[in-house]
Chain A
């Protein structure tokens, strides 16, 4: 069944964009039709990571009701092996656009939520997309909460960092719960995660600590840091453990097995 998935976190730098792009790419590799949306309007980054040519229309334009969604979609399917389809919908990175997006009022945000919800009809139903990934900005931003409300499932990225743990717990209890959203926690940048005993122990601790289902655990890989955000990892390194971990996560999402 097709789904809208929001990738969110309390703090920045938890790996939301890396997860969004690579989860989407993993689905595309297995033959699905997917699209990644950059909803981080304060600090757009998807265009840099995907190294796309300059877009004529941005997600900003769709939300501003100045164009339809089709014009904003960039087809990057040729970069993914197989018959899957991989699209991106980018946020405008110009300073003027960032300033414009940060000065929107409640009415605009309400209409933007309507436009995001309409994607269920235009993209999932009419154009037969399997998965839409909303890469959000961290914390309690209007755009992020809009994305969460519009989504079927929220992937919450977190690290073991103390500054992140408390905020994430609060967000889980006070935000996702209130909206009755299904969530899956991804613990990213985990040190010493290779030993199986340690892994199980950590998983149990996380479950008890956060009281939400785990989607997966990603060890701290130097190769990812070395890549400097330059690649769709699952495509460039098919045998890397990170690629395998993501394949497990997509399977769980697909089969509704996050528990």
Chain B
């Protein structure tokens, strides 16, 4: 897929494309790992909901009981309503890839939602729509 786009493009663009593809792969691998861990649900009709624990709320007691590395990420996302892994990494002073992994973990745990817009993935807490 990438190879078709490579002609006439600058190296930086190519690297960005590769990075984007790697990120997508990463997301997919993490989902696969999670499915393997939890056993792939029996119904299988809605993959997305089987991946996250429904109704998990990111309240302060949950924050308190989290492992330190995830709490740090979750605290920052609590403050900004919506952010990319890069924005979170700026505040936590950790690598973007590390934050990306933690954020995806929080999504799988049901605490965050993830939305792709163009090349960027935004993470947010869906406070209002949780019943």
Decide: B130 and A180 in contact? CB cutoff 8 A.
no
Q: How far is the CB of B27 from chain A (nearest CB, A)?
A: 25
Decide: A145 and B130 in contact? CB cutoff 8 A.
no
Restricting to B58-100, which residues have a CB under 8 Å from any CB of A?
58-64, 68, 71-72, 75, 78-79, 81
Chain A residue numbers with a CB within 8 Å of B81 are 114
Chain B residue numbers with a CB within 8 Å of A106 are 57, 59, 61-62
What's the count of A-B pairs with C-beta under 8 Å? 49
Contact with B along A130-174 (1 / 0, CB 8 A): 000000000000100110010000000000000000000000000
- Interface size band for B: 20 to 34
Decide: A180 and B75 in contact? CB cutoff 8 A.
yes
Q: Is A197 an interface residue (CB 8 A)?
A: no
Contact with B along A174-203 (1 / 0, CB 8 A): 010011100000000000000000000000
Chain B residue numbers with a CB within 8 Å of A142 are 59-61
Q: Is A107 an interface residue (CB 8 A)?
A: yes
Q: Which residue on A lies nearest to B79, using beta carbons?
A: A117
CA distance A106 to B130 in the complex (A): 11
CA distance A146 to B71 in the complex (A): 15
Chain B residue numbers with a CB within 8 Å of A149 are 60, 63, 75, 78
CA distance A117 to B63 in the complex (A): 15
Chain B residue numbers with a CB within 8 Å of A107 are 55, 57, 59, 130-131
Q: How far is the CB of B99 from chain A (nearest CB, A)?
A: 16
CA distance A109 to B60 in the complex (A): 8
CA distance A146 to B68 in the complex (A): 18
Chain A residue numbers with a CB within 8 Å of B59 are 106-107, 109-110, 113, 142
Chain B residue numbers with a CB within 8 Å of A120 are 79
Chain B residue numbers with a CB within 8 Å of A180 are 72, 75
A contact set with B: CB distance below 8 Å: 106-107, 109-111, 113-114, 117, 120, 142, 145-146, 149, 175, 178-180
